[in-house]
Each structure stands twice: as structure tokens, then as C-alpha cells.
Amino acid sequence: MRRSTSHGNPATSHRRRPARLPHPRASAGIALGAVAALLSVAVQSGPATADDQDRATARTTAAKGADPGALPADLSPTQRAALLRKADSNKAATADKLGLGAKEKLVVRDVLKDRDGTVHTRYERTYDGLPVLGGDLVVETTKKGSTEEVVRASKHALKNVPAKASVRPGTAERQALKAADAAGSEKTDADRAPRKVVWLAKGKPTLAYETVVGGLQDDGTPNELHVVTDARSGKKLYQWQAVHNGIGNTQYSGQVTLSTARSGSNYTLTDNDRGGHRTYNLNRGTSGTGSLFSQSSDTWGNGSPSNAATAGADAHYGAAETWDYYKDVFGRSGIRGDGRGAYSRVHYGNNYVNAFWSDSCFCMTYGDGSGNSKPLTSMDVAAHEMTHGLTSATAGLIYSGESGGLNEATSDILATAVEFHAANSADKGDYLIGEKIDIRGNGTPLRYQDKPSRDGASKDNWYAGIGNIDVHYSSGPANHWFYLLSEGSGAKVINGVSYDSPTADGLPVTGIGREKAALIWYKALTTKFTSTTNYASARTGTLAVAGELYGTDSAEYKAVADAWAGVAVGARSGGGDPGDGKTFTNDADVSIPDYPGAAVTSKITTSGLTGRAPSNLKVGVNIVHTYSGDLQIDLIGPSGRSYRLHNVAADPTPNIDTTYTVDASAENANGVWQLRVQDRGPADTGHINSFKLTFP
């Protein structure tokens, strides 16, 4: 067994020492929450191995072939704080440069820096003193200070918002409580009285109230339901849950090394090497912090759930692995980048089969599972839940609709990266989420990244309306994208696990490696994504990052596009073996009038083809629109026959950027093809950006 001296405050005499965790493979659970994973390196007892070298070179592998200047720079908490102060002192000038209105002000939220000096500053906005929900933006500036790019959560102008509400705060509060009751919550109360805000996340700016409801969700998870109510009409505009929860695994990490602290004659689960992260025992409680784990021996747990310290050791280890992953690979010091640790609470409630992240306490909380015999405290659960914290501190993806699915996927994606990076021989890296929980009692994982639909509920590919399902299942396409980008399509065996990943268009995808895929996702999350990012925008953001890192003519850039096409988001790169097909494109913008306006068309005339059109004609559609659910989209063949591509649905997500497959074998290949679009709902507008036909 190894020991290593802590580099924290010498007065507290910390030591790192092996904790006695589970013997061969006990049962486990997994986290379903979402947010970026903060992984740390697993330190095994015994001699150094090739796995240790793999961990040491993970960052180099991810950066291979990348533009060194585009990689994230290592920022100490002090350096980050200086950048935040500078951004804050210049925020008025920045607002002027961006052309913001007189009533708008910027609030600095986060900052990251690339090695070439490029700075990515994330701002919230206020309007006439009111917080603007969905008004966040990221400003990218060069080393010389010139603005290079601005990514906005909403493209709507922030103006003409009425100052006076017609609805009383009490009406909004009653509506929020009713929404919580409808969701099965118990002991509900208004955690925060309704506050007046401007709602900009889903369309034009609206004066609104935001109410936060407390109590408990239907499974015993603390409730933090945000409900947004139109302050003029009283209509409910949106709601989302701020406590991100899930299921995790535990008792599978074997004997590991922990960073602890000496306090008098006792040791405590305090990790001063990682921002002072502490692990507490709630002892079946559901509030507060309980008691900090403390004992005279520095050996924690015995591998059995009957020993309270076993779950504490698992949670402490998982938090350390997550912290180390973000530090080792991305140079990020803690979830917020400020060098401060979160904290963990174990033994929550009674028979609580879940784990969750909460921004309000900046902490992870773990139940003990069915019969209090399966604590949900595994490494990948910790990574998953801590990643919710990262997402909250950066992109702030709203935990509902398509952005909620991307939030969940982020936690799965980076938790997978953490698990591989840890190189723990007792829990080898895989693309299976919750593989050791056996929550269904049949030995199957909770989720599969190579083919998400194998769990019976998750979706393999994007489709219009995917934002209307549970965020844990709408995360499927992004999880699938990550697997395809990492490993490629088709059958293969990795670390003894068999995978067989299909694609939406039936064409192959060649992977670029997990380290590069994770780097692209992390950088897109922290510099390109906003609170309202949907699948189409995620594609745009990841392609932008791939271009910055590897160049737009690189294999990596093409693979990102092909992996998205593999989950039905956007078109192929043209370099991913589309057969010897021929592509025709119309890039002319066509405005789509608001309801009840007439349908509009974009036309393509094909020639040089022979015979009939194929049974798998690829129809690429890129539409910019503030409410995709308003749109009815058809392909009109040369014969005049109509093929429905997209139906009107209750889908508030903006924009459509996808490729549809149509059996057009009844049509002549040559002729005039039309994309016909009609807005069937009021209040939102947009335009056809491009229309593409690919004949395989």
C-alpha cells in the first residue's frame, strides 16, 4: 500500500492512505443527473503500471494533432479571479461594443482562457434591473482584446418589455405550487417568493415571475422546481427541476488511496488537496450535513454496506477522481474553476434509490438504495453528479427540453471519460452507464452509449419532438454521438465489453478516439453552449470547436459532422463514404411568414441523373426558427407528390438542422424538387437557411 504526503496546510497533517473498500465486485447503482464530470486519477496499491502512464499522457493524447493555442490553458484560482475582475471592470464597455440597449447590463459569470490568449467570458444580463433568464451569452476575445465571436442563448432583441405586471405574485405562487403537486411533489412550499424577471429563453422577451417550489419530489428527492409565469397574462411559460438526480454504483472500486486530514487525535474525510472537499454522514437524515466522517483510524470502510464508512470512502474517492480528471486533462481547478471543493453527503433517507446534485448546497447526495444495502456512491455516479455542477457553472443548460437532454448527456459523457481516465482495474472504463447496479434485477446496465435504445426508453437518434420526453431518455442521441465519435460505428470489443453501434443513415462513422471526443465536448460546453442550446446548436458548437482545434479540413472535423449525421442531426461531411452519390444544394434564404401566412418553398432542379429517385433519398433541412413546433415541412417531388418530413408539435425548441431519409422511388430522379414550409402557429418567425438533396 502506498502513502503520499498531502501538499495542503502543514498544520493539519493530511495523509493519503488506502481505504478498505469492497472485496470482489459487490452490487452497485448509478447517477442519472447531468453536468460536466470532474474526475480524478485512481491511485492503485502496488507497483506502477501501464495504466498509470495512460493517465499521465491522457492530456497529450487528447491534444495530438490539435492547434496548441486552441487548447484550454491551466488557470489557477488566482489567475481566474484576476480575469473575472478585469471582465467586471470592462463590462460596461463590452455592453457598448455588443450594441446592448440602455436598459441592459452585463453580469460576469465565468471565464476561461486558451493557451494562445483567447478569453471566453460568459455573461448573464439584466434589463431595467431585472434578471434575464435565457439572456446569457459568451464573448470570445483575442489576446489583443478584439471581439472574435459572440454566442447568444437568444437572438431576440431585448427591448420593449413592459415594466408593470398585471398579475399579482400570489397568483404566480399558486400556479407554481399547483405544478409541483401535479408532478407528485410532497410537502411543497414556495422556497423563494416569486421574483420578477424577464423570460427570454423561448422566444421574445416577456415580463414574468420566477417561483421556486421546495418540499420533496415523488421519490423523496429534494424539490427545487422553477416555474416561470407570464406577469401580464398569468400563463405558465416554462418549468424545470434544478435538483439533478439519478442512480449510481458503489462498492466496486477495490482498495484505493484517499486524501484525508488529521484533526486532533482523529482523521476526517476532508480532502485539502482538492479544495477542502468533505464527506458527511447524514445517517438517514434528509437535510443539513449530518456529521463529518471522523475516526481514530485512517482506514475507511470494509467493503460492506453495513459499515457506514464504506459508502463515505466510495463517495470521497469518486469526488477525488472527478476533480483530478478536470485538473489533469483540462487544467480546471474545481467545478467552478475557483479551487474550491464541493461536498458529499451519504446515507440520505431510508431506502432511497437515487443520488443527486444540488446547486443550492453545491453538493452531491447519495441514498443507500433498496433495503439500504446498495449505496449509490460509485466513481461514475460522483463524476456524473459533479458534472451537473460543472454544467451549471458554465453553459447552464436548462434542465428541460432538448437542453435538458444535453445536460444529462454531458454528465454521462464526462463520467465515462472519468471512468476511463481513472484506469481502476476493479472498474474498467466502458460505455455502459450503471452496469453494476442491476437496478432492473436482470444484470443489465442502466444506459448504453453505443445504442441507447437498448435500455428500452432512450432514443438512438434525434427527431422533432424529442425535447418533450424525459431528459434522461432525450440524452440518448448525444450519448450515441459521443460513442460514434470516440470509437466509430459497427461491432467491436473494448476492455472485454462488446459493442455494436448503428447509424441513423446507415453509413459508417470512423472514430477519432475518446480523449479527443471528450476534449471537443468539454470545450464546446464551456465556450459555445448556452442555457438554451439544443441539438442543432450543439452540432454547430462542436464543429466550431473541432475547427479551432484541428482545422475545418481535418479528419476530426469531418468525423464530428459524420457522427452527428449518424444520430440524425445535420448532414454528412462529404468525406464519410456517402457512396458515389450526388448532392444538390440551395443555400438561398427564404423567409417564413408567421401564421396565418402562406407556405413558402425552396427549389432544387436536378439533372444528370438516370431513372428513378432512390428509396433512401437524403433530404437535408436547415431552418432557423424560434419555435420549431410551429412548422409543417414537406418534400414535393417532380410529380407533385408530397412527402411529410416534419409535423406540427408542442416543441418549443428553436431551429431544425437535420437530414431526413425519404422513399422517393416513385419519382423521376431528374426534375424540380421543392421544400415546402408553413408556419402553423402564432408569434414566431424564421427562414429556410438551406435545402439539400443527396442521391446515394
Residues with catalytic annotation?
A: 385, 472
| DSSP output for 622-641 | EEEES-GGGEEEEEE-TTS-
CA distance 193 to 427: 45
The number of helix segments (H) and strand segments (E) in the chain equals 13, 33
CB 305 within 8 A of CB 29: no
CA angle 259, 260, 266 (to 5 degrees): 160
Select from 506, 464, 514, 487 the least CA-distant residue to 654: 464
CB 546 within 8 A of CB 71: no
CA distance 138 to 407: 18
Cα Rg for the chain, rounded, in angstroms? 25
Name the strands in the sheet holding 642-646, side by side, starting at the edge strand that comes first in the sequence: 600-606, 671-679, 631-636, 642-646
Beta strands 206-213; 147-152: pairing state: unpaired
Q: For the purposes of burial, counting CB atoms within 10 Å of the CB of 338, is it exposed (0-12), middle (13-18) or buried (19 or more)?
A: middle
CB 447 within 8 A of CB 389: no
Q: How distant, in Å, are the alpha carbons of 385, 481, 643 from that of 502?
A: 28, 11, 25
- Provide the sign of the torsion angle of the four alpha carbons 343, 309, 294, 292, taken in this order: positive
CA distance 4 to 268: 16
Q: Which cell is 328 given?
A: 489533469
Q: For the purposes of burial, counting CB atoms within 10 Å of the CB of 61, is it exposed (0-12), middle (13-18) or buried (19 or more)?
A: middle
Q: How distant, in Å, are the alpha carbons of 6, 14, 45, 259, 463 from that of 3?
A: 9, 11, 9, 10, 52
Place of cell 400563463: 235
The residues, ordered by sequence, that sit 6+ positions from 603 with a Cβ below 8 Å of its Cβ are 586, 672, 673, 674, 675
Residue 104: strand, helix, or coil: strand
- Helix (H) / strand (E) element for 343: namely strand 343-348
The residues, ordered by sequence, that sit 6+ positions from 518 with a Cβ below 8 Å of its Cβ are 62, 329, 413, 414, 417, 482, 486
- Provide the sign of the torsion angle of the four alpha carbons 129, 132, 136, 137, taken in this order: negative
CA distance 674 to 601: 6
